[in-house]
Amino acid sequence: MEFNQEALVKEVTFRTSRSSGAGGQNVNKVETRVEALLNIPESTTLSELQKARISARLKNRINSEGVLAVSCAETRSQGRNRQIATDRLLELIHLALEKKKIRKKSGIPKSVKRKRLDSKKKQSEKKSRRRFDP
């Protein structure tokens, strides 16, 4: 299932906060941590089927209001963190919408069956040699 990434990015809202980690004094005054938020039920870009599939597959990442949140605090730059968070959000949605392959049941190969029977036969012979026959 495909979706329009540019239109979806326009629906994303961002929330910033102070980040932990490297940055020196900068870390105390600049909000570099970025959280990308997408309200799944109110999205106009996604179809109802896509919304249902995303909600089902990402239910552990979506809060009670239906908002999918992805955060990033990797770099010292708010702009770069915003880009990384957006990319992660789009990747999550892409993976959630991906159609899963149906596993085709395959038979047990003849070589595997043969190996199993050979090992059983060897074990049987080993045990029979230990028996005492008067």
Check which CATH number belongs to the domain holding 23 and give it: 3.30.160.20
Instruction: Work out how many domains the chain is built from and give that number.
Output: 1
Q: Is residue 79 part of a domain?
A: yes
3-state secondary structure of 14: strand
> Is a pLDDT exceeding 90 seen at residue 26?
no
- Residue 15 belongs to domain spanning: 5-97
pLDDT of residue 22: 67
Q: Is residue 134 part of a domain?
A: no
**What is the rounded average pLDDT for all residues in the chain?**
88
Q: Is residue 109 part of a domain?
A: no
Q: Is residue 105 part of a domain?
A: no
Q: What is the pLDDT of residues 75-134, one digit of tens each?
A: 888 899 999 999 999 999 999 988 888 999 999 999 999 999 999 999 999 999 888 776
Report the percent of the chain where pLDDT is more than 90: 53
3-state secondary structure of 110: helix
Q: Is residue 63 part of a domain?
A: yes
**Two tokens at 44?**
């106009």
Write out the chain in H/E/C secondary structure.
Answer: CCCCHHHHHHHCEEEEECCCCCCCCHHHHCCCEEEEEEECCCCCCCCHHHHHHHHHHCCCCECCCCEEEEEECCCCCHHHHHHHHHHHHHHHHHHHHCCCCCCCCCCCCHHHHHHHHHHHHHHHHHHHHHCCCC
> Is a pLDDT exceeding 80 seen at residue 1?
no
Instruction: Report pTM.
Output: 0.70
pLDDT of residue 123: 96
> Is a pLDDT exceeding 80 seen at residue 60?
yes
Q: Is residue 103 part of a domain?
A: no
